[in-house]
Amino acid sequence: MNKDIVRDFERVSPELVNEAAQFQAAILADVAGRRGAMHGRIQALRPRMKVAGPALTVEVRPGDNLMIHAAIAMAKPGDVLVIDGKGDQTAALMGTIMMTACRQLGIAGVVIDGAVRDSLEIDEMDFPVFSVGTNPNGPTKSIGGRIGHPISCGGVSVQAGDLVLADADGVVVIEREKIASLIPAAHKKVEDEAKRIAQIKEGKSAAAWLIPSLQAAGVLKAGELL
């Protein structure tokens, strides 16, 4: 059996995906210790796009999409293709034909550290795509890679089966084993932020932590105020 392709791995459960999907990527990144967010170069093709699901990891050589075709054929409904394209923007690794196949097969979306093309058609499809931009050049389909192995995508380590959640702010990855424990913290974060926004609208704009933090940083002396 080819060791470059890992076919069997545990995925984050659909129940946890549904729970996590109600949150912004920013909320999950915050409760995960302000880590797990991919480099800002990877952005939604259109701001309205959002996706959540288990990662199906793919590693390719820059400009070649052979292994992405293989991953599409292997993917399970609900998977998010997470592709380490090495940040290359000289050729698109996916376009309308591949995105149509993804949607037809029930793949939830695509996160790619590389370029795509046919952006207007993908926009019309309303299929969630997160990439480092677009390029009209097509790829080659001749170089091997890996599927289901750990990858680095946008500077973040991604294991097959990890939770991927992406929205207008970018992409965050949470380890499969950790997401369940973070859901309560995410709910509390949402509630706390809603309370703070309500306070600001009531005129209480000064944050309680600001003066102590400025004093601790040596910006203000003890007892000094702004």
CATH code of the domain covering residue 139: 3.50.30.40
Are the C-beta atoms of residues 91 and 63 closer than 8 Å to each other? yes
The pLDDT of residue 223 is 86
The pLDDT of residue 30 is 97
The verdict on 93 and 201 lying in the same domain is no
CA dist., res. 58 & res. 208, Å (int): 45
Going by pLDDT thresholds of 50, 70 and 90, the confidence category of residue 206 is confident
Going by C-alpha positions, the residue among 31, 133, 127 that lies closest to residue 80 is 127
The verdict on 153 and 212 lying in the same domain is no
* Enclosing domain of residue 141: 14-180
**pLDDT higher than 60, residue 1:** no
The pLDDT of residue 2 is 65
The verdict on 64 and 157 lying in the same domain is yes
The verdict on 83 and 46 lying in the same domain is yes
Cα 149-126-180 angle, rounded to 5 deg:
45
CA dist., res. 188 & res. 31, Å (int): 10
The verdict on 49 and 140 lying in the same domain is yes
Q: Does 226 fall in a domain?
A: no
pLDDT digits (tens, 9 = 90+) for 42-87: 999 999 999 999 999 999 999 999 999 999 999 999 999 999 999 9
The pLDDT of residue 203 is 93
The verdict on 92 and 201 lying in the same domain is no
CA dist., res. 226 & res. 211, Å (int): 8
Domain total in the chain: 2
Task: Please state the rounded mean pLDDT for residues 165-181.
Answer: 98
The verdict on 212 and 102 lying in the same domain is no
Task: Please state the rounded mean pLDDT for residues 24-36.
Answer: 97
CA dist., res. 103 & res. 77, Å (int): 9
CA dist., res. 210 & res. 224, Å (int): 12
Q: Give this prediction's pTM.
A: 0.94
The verdict on 209 and 140 lying in the same domain is no
**pLDDT higher than 90, residue 208:** no
Q: Does 105 fall in a domain?
A: yes
The verdict on 97 and 188 lying in the same domain is no
The verdict on 42 and 68 lying in the same domain is yes
The verdict on 134 and 191 lying in the same domain is no
Average pLDDT along the chain: 96
